[in-house]
């Protein structure tokens, strides 16, 4: 059996640490694991399969001899290093938004469009966390009944903005409970001018604003969903409308999804059944026993949890559902490692001659 040299870029971040853990519990045969980060984090030691591995500072040459790169160190770091890695023969799975909309880069959620992996030219992109869990819940519905429209409102956890945002949020929560004033330097988004507390609050801004008044996160949900489900970021076959809100939760995003199917004969029970039978989705939908997805029960799990499925009484063919998944696992680290597993399974861990040159 072929074994692979794997590198994790951004190994000390909230997602990077989880990539190490997910890789440890994956089917990827790892010959050697290299942990890469910025000079600031170099020297840190992280355990992998009982062995301590020292984090190294990333340089282009770090990727010599590497077969698979799992990247989660920010968009600019990916832009800088992934073409270098591909040039040296490594297949990269990138968890940042750097390459998601590139037509030469497959955007893959294995449950939905694993076949796209075969088209890679050295880089595969991992979608945005809020997109991933929604498409896992909707794909079985789409396959069986068709899908014409999606209206989603998200309830996104602080950890989606990174470990420093999560730490800031915890500090705010303690200050609030102590009756002190809350301060904010990171949320809603590091790159913007104003900052607001998230603790005991709601921030209807994730990422920066686009010209049309939507946020970039909302834009991502629209176009990534189309690219994953219809293989075209501007496809019109499924209309997508998104509102993204940061909520005072640490880990796991919630989503209130309203959708319309093409086959108007579909019933609530039909929707429940196809989701229940779909790999990667777990149906938690028993109102009589107050069973429904919750962030604190989804945390640490790889699955996407779906419940509160209802037929809209006034609009035939329209349904509601409530979707929760661990944004750091299925929304990031696990989906990345899962893509690596699928590459290995399909013997696709090789960079083609017409490789991605950036």
- In the complex, minimum distance from the CB of residue 151 to its own copies, in angstroms, rounded to a whole number: 5
30 sits near its own copies (criterion: CB under 8 A)? no
**Active site includes 223?**
no
- In the complex, minimum distance from the CB of residue 336 to its own copies, in angstroms, rounded to a whole number: 25
118 sits near its own copies (criterion: CB under 8 A)? no
Bridge partners (DSSP) listed for residue 325 = 253, 304
Contact stretch for its own copies (CB under 8 A) within 19-27, 51-59, 63-71, 238-246: 238-246
Between CA 255 and CA 46 the distance in angstroms is: 33
- In the complex, minimum distance from the CB of residue 332 to its own copies, in angstroms, rounded to a whole number: 19
Bridge partners (DSSP) listed for residue 30 = 4
- Percent of the chain as helix, strand, coil, to the nearest 5: 35, 25, 40
| C-beta of residue 38 within 8 angstroms of C-beta of residue 73 | yes
Please, which of residues 132-151 interact with its own copies by CB under 8 A?
149, 151
- In the complex, minimum distance from the CB of residue 212 to its own copies, in angstroms, rounded to a whole number: 7
Q: Can you tell me which of 119, 311, 341, 348 binds its own copies, judged by CB under 8 A?
A: 311
Exactly one of 129, 223, 244, 318 is catalytic; name it.
Answer: 129
For its own copies, the closer of residues 32 and 174 by Cβ is 174
Between CA 106 and CA 149 the distance in angstroms is: 23
For residues 185-210, one letter each, b for 16 or more C-beta atoms within 10 angstroms of the residue's C-beta and e for the rest, the string is ebbbbeeeeebebbbebebebbbeee
Q: Residues within the annotated binding site for substrate? A: 156, 246
Contact stretch for its own copies (CB under 8 A) within 28-36, 60-68, 286-294, 348-356: 286-294
Q: Check whether the bond before 188 is cis (ω within 30° of 0).
A: yes
Q: Residue 23 has which token pair?
A: 């890789």
For its own copies, the closer of residues 15 and 271 by Cβ is 271
Closest residue by Cα to residue 151 from 165, 166, 138, 170: 138
Closest residue by Cα to residue 249 from 129, 133, 128, 155: 155
Max distance between CA atoms of the chain, in angstroms, equals 62
Please, which of residues 158-217 interact with its own copies by CB under 8 A?
170, 173-174, 177, 188, 192-194, 196-197, 200-205, 209, 212-214
**Active site includes 129?**
yes
Between CA 240 and CA 211 the distance in angstroms is: 18
- In the complex, minimum distance from the CB of residue 184 to its own copies, in angstroms, rounded to a whole number: 11
- Tell me which residues are annotated as active site: 129, 253
Contact positions toward its own copies, by CB under 8 A? 149, 151, 153, 155, 170, 173-174, 177, 188, 192-194, 196-197, 200-205, 209, 212-214, 236, 239-241, 243, 245, 247-250, 254, 256, 258, 268, 287-290, 292-296, 307-315, 318, 320, 322, 324
């Amino acid at each position: 059996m072929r074994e692979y040299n794997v590198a994790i870029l951004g190994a000390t971040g909230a997602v990077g640490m989880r990539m190490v853990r997910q890789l440890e519990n994956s089917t990827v045969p790892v010959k050697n694991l290299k942990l890469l980060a910025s000079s600031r984090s170099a020297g840190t030691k992280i355990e992998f399969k009982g062995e301590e591995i020292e984090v190294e500072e990333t340089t282009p040459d770090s990727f010599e001899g590497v077969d698979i790169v799992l990247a989660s160190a920010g968009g600019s770091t990916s832009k800088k290093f992934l073409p270098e890695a591909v040039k040296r023969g490594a297949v990269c799975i990138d968890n940042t938004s750097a390459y998601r909309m590139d037509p030469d880069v497959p955007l893959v959620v294995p449950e939905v469009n694993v076949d796209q992996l075969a088209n890679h030219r050295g880089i595969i992109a991992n979608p945005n966390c809020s997109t991933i869990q929604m498409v896992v819940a909707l794909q079985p519905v789409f396959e069986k009944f068709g899908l014409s429209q999606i209206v989603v409102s998200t309830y996104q956890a602080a950890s989606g903005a990174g470990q420093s945002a999560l730490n800031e949020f915890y500090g705010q929560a303690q200050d609030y409970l102590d009756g002190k004033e809350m301060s904010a330097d990171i949320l809603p988004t590091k790159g913007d001018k104003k900052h607001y507390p998230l603790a005991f609050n709601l921030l209807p801004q994730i990422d920066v604003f686009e010209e049309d008044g939507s946020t970039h996160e909302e834009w991502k949900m629209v176009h990534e969903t189309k690219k994953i489900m219809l293989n075209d970021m501007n496809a019109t076959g499924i209309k997508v409308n998104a509102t993204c809100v940061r909520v005072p939760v640490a880990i796991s995003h919630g989503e209130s999804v309203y959708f319309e199917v093409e086959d108007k004969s579909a019933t609530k029970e039909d929707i429940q059944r196809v989701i229940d039978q779909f790999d990667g989705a777990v149906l938690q939908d028993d109102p009589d026993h107050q069973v429904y997805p919750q962030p604190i029960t989804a945390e640490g799990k790889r699955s996407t949890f779906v419940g509160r499925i209802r037929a809209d009484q006034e609009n035939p063919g329209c349904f509601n559902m409530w979707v929760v998944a661990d944004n750091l696992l299925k929304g990031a680290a696990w989906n990345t490692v899962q893509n690596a597993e699928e590459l290995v399974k399909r013997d696709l861990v090789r960079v083609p001659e017409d490789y991605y040159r950036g």
